[in-house]
Structure 1
């Protein structure tokens, strides 16, 4: 588990952490895909983090399973739409969660509780 200040640099720090952990786990073949997913999820967490009561944080938890890697990002906001959508072709944003769903083979799961924030979980399968 690693906490990051919910600032524009959080996604970069999260990618560095993910690269280090996956290298130590001996699965360098998943680094690029996992970093892309982590970057999107942490970027969304930073965008939706609540700053009302001081600096906000987001939390990244990486879990290794026999057949997959789980990437979990928590932020203090229980709001924010995290469903993949089809953006306007001229839109400059809105494609990230669709990319996450494509890499994972399924959309991310969202666990939210009013006043307790939300956790977005993406699972990337490991090659057999």
Structure 2
């Protein structure tokens, strides 16, 4: 588990941490797709979970299974609804959850605990990674 301040640099630090963990696990080939998922989920936590300027943290947990890699991002927001935007080909943002769903084969899941925030979980099946 690694914590990050919900600042504009959180996603970058989370990607670095993810690449380091995967290298330590001897799985650098998983880094590109996993870092993209981590970046999107941490970025969403920073952008949507807390009001701008409010000091808070988010947590990243990576779990390796025989057939999958789980990316779990906790933030203090009780809002369990992920808000995918309608497709706008000219928009500069709003495609992150669609990218995560494409890489994982399913949309991320959200788990909440009243008064304790939410955890967004995306599972990358190892046989899908780099096969898209």
Q: Give the TM-score of the pair, scaled to structure 1.
A: 0.91
1:5-53 deviation line (CA, Å, top 9, x unaligned): 000000000000000001111111110000000000000000123259x
CA–CA distance in structure 1, aligned partners of residues 87 and 80 of structure 2: 16
Are residues 1:103 and 2:121 paired?
no
Which range is displaced more, 3-12 or 77-86?
77-86
Contact 2:60 2:73 in 1 (8 A): yes
Distance 1:43 1:9, change over 3 A: same
5+ long unaligned stretches in structure 2: none
Are residues 1:18 and 2:22 paired?
no
Question: How does 1:104-123 map onto structure 2 within 5 Å?
Answer: 104-123=104-123
Find runs of 4+ consecutive structure 1 residues off by over 4 angstroms. Answer: none
Counterpart of 2:62 in structure 1 is 62
Question: How does 1:74-113 map onto structure 2 within 5 Å?
Answer: 74-79=74-79, 81-82=81-82, 84-113=84-113
5+ long unaligned stretches in structure 1: none
Query: RMSD over aligned Cα, in angstroms?
Result: 2.1
Contact 1:84 1:101 in 2 (8 A): no
C-alpha displacement of 1:91: 1.9
Count residues with an aligned counterpart: 128
Q: Secondary structure, in 3 states, of the residue corresponding to 2:4?
A: strand
Q: Secondary structure, in 3 states, of the residue corresponding to 2:93?
A: coil
Contact 2:80 2:118 in 1 (8 A): no
Q: Give the TM-score of the pair, scaled to structure 2.
A: 0.88
